[in-house]
Amino acid sequence: MASLVVDTAPLVLDVGVVLLAAATLGYGARRIGLPSVAGYLLTGLLVSPFTPGFVADGNQLSLLADIGVVLLLFEVGIEIDLKRISREQRSLFWSVPTQLGIGMLIGTPIFLFMDVPMLGALLLSLSIAMSSSVVIVNITRSPRRRTDTITEEAMLGWSVMQDVVGVALAAVILATFGNSDRPLPIALGGLVGFALIAYISSKILPFILRKVRWEKDLFLIYSVSIGLVLAALGTVVFAIPMALAGFVAGLAINQSKDTEDVRKAILPFRDLFAVLFFVVIGSLIIPAQLDTSWKFALLVLILMVLIKTLPTAFLVKVSGLKVRPIQLGVGISQIGEFSFVLGSLAFKEGLITSDQFNGLLVAVVISILGSTLLVRKIKSLDLKQ
C-alpha cells in the first residue's frame, strides 16, 4: 500500500500543480480581458519539457486530456439540437457544409503542393475549416462580449453543424484514405456498425437512467461511463478515433428525454478535463522550433481567413440570417479541439513534420486569442453595412 502511494504521488502532484497553475493563469487572463483558455495554454507551455522549471509528466497528462476530449465531444454531441436548428436556422444545413467544402477544395491542393500526402492534406484542410465549440461557447457567455443574442445563437448553431458535418467527413476520409490494412468496405462497415451500437445504447440508457434518476451518484456514474465506454469501443473494435466515437455516442444519446440531465451531470467533469486538454496543447509547443515553424503557422492562419472567415461572412449574408455577418465570421475563426485531434492524428501517422505540427499548434493559440478579442471589436463594421 505504501508503495502504491509513492508510485501515484508524482502523478497527483503533477495534476494538482497543473490545475492550480491553470486556474491562476486562467483567472489572470480573464482579468486582463483575455479568455481563460489563454491561461491554460500558457500553463502547458510553462510545465512542458521544452521550457525551464517544473516539468509535468506529459504521458500522464495526455491520458487525462484524452479522457477530457472524449467527454468534451460527447457533451457537444448531447447538446446538439438539430430540430431547433431546422426550425430557426434552416439555412445552416446548406451554408455550413458549403463552407467546409470550400475549405477542403482550397486547402487540400495547397498542402498537396507542399508534398503532404493526400490523407494529411485532407485532415489539415478539414481541421482548419472547423472551429472550436468550447471557445465559441466562451465567446457567447463572456461578460465582455459585444455580440447580440441572434448572432450568438447563429454562432453556436454554426459550430454545431460544423461538428456534425466535420465528424462525418473525417470518418469517411479516414475510412477511405487511412493507412489501415482493412479494405474500404470493411472500414465503412465499421462506421455503420458503431453507429448501430450507439443507437442501441441510446435506447437502453434512458431505461437505466430512469431507474436511478433519484440516485444522484449512480446517475452521474452511468452518464460519464457510457460516453467513455462507447468512445473506447469505437476505437478498439471499429478503429474509429476516440474523439470521433465520443461525439457520435453523444449524438445518439441526444435522442433521450434525459439528455439535459446527462449533460448537466457531465459538465463539471468535462470542464475539468478540458482544462488539461488545453494545457496539453500548450505543452506540445516547442519554442526552439519557432524560427522554422512560424511560416507554416502563418500559412494556416491565412488559410483560415480564406476558407473560413470570408466564406462564412459571405454565406451568412446570402443565406438571409438576420445576424452580423462579419462578427459571426470572426467569431468562428479559430482552430480548436477537434482540429487539434485531426492534426495530432496526421502527425502520429507521419503525414506532417514536427515543424508543421508545431506551426499548427502555434496557429491554434493565435487563432483562439485573435478571434476572442477581435469579435468584440468588429461590431461597428457590421453596423455600418
pLDDT of residue 164: 80
Find all residues with CB under 8 Å of 209, minimum gap 6, and list them: 219, 222, 223, 256, 258, 261, 262
Average pLDDT of span 293-319: 92
pLDDT of residue 4: 44
Confidence band (pLDDT; 50, 70, 90) for 380? very low
Confidence band (pLDDT; 50, 70, 90) for 281? confident
pLDDT of residue 302: 94
Tell me: the pLDDT tens digits for 124-146? 999 999 988 778 877 777 666 66
What DSSP designation does 305 have? I
What DSSP designation does 47 have? T
Q: How far apart are CA 381 and CA 271, in angstroms?
A: 34
Residue 11 has pLDDT above 70, yes or no: no
Q: How far apart are CA 353 and CA 199, in angstroms?
A: 38
pLDDT of residue 217: 76
pTM for the structure as a whole: 0.82
pLDDT of residue 257: 63
pLDDT of residue 299: 94
Backbone torsion region of residue 183, taken as left when φ is above 0, otherwise alpha when ψ lies between -120 and 50, otherwise beta: beta
Enumerate the domain spans of the chain.
58-383
Confidence band (pLDDT; 50, 70, 90) for 240? confident
Tell me: the pLDDT tens digits for 97-110? 999 999 999 999 99
From 177, 363, 306, 179, select the one nearest 355 (Cα to Cα): 363
Range with the largest mean pLDDT of 228-232, 280-284, 291-295: 291-295
Residue 122 has pLDDT above 90, yes or no: yes
CATH topology for 58-383 is: Na+/H+ antiporter like fold (1.20.1530)
Q: How far apart are CA 381 and CA 375, in angstroms?
A: 11
Tell me: the pLDDT tens digits for 194-238? 778 777 877 777 777 777 777 777 877 777 777 778 878 877 777
Q: Dihedral sign for Cα 237, 238, 242, 248, please.
A: negative
Find all residues with CB under 8 Å of 315, minimum gap 6, and list them: 95, 98, 99
pLDDT of residue 184: 64
C-alpha cell at 268: 463539471
pLDDT of residue 383: 47
Tell me: the pLDDT tens digits for 156-188? 888 878 888 887 888 788 878 876 666 666 666
Question: Residue 246, SS3?
Answer: helix
Contact 91, 45 (CB under 8 A): no
Confidence band (pLDDT; 50, 70, 90) for 311? very high
**Rounded to 5 degrees, what angle do the CA atoms 288, 22, 337 make?**
70
Please provide the average confidence, as pLDDT, over all residues in the chain. Answer: 80
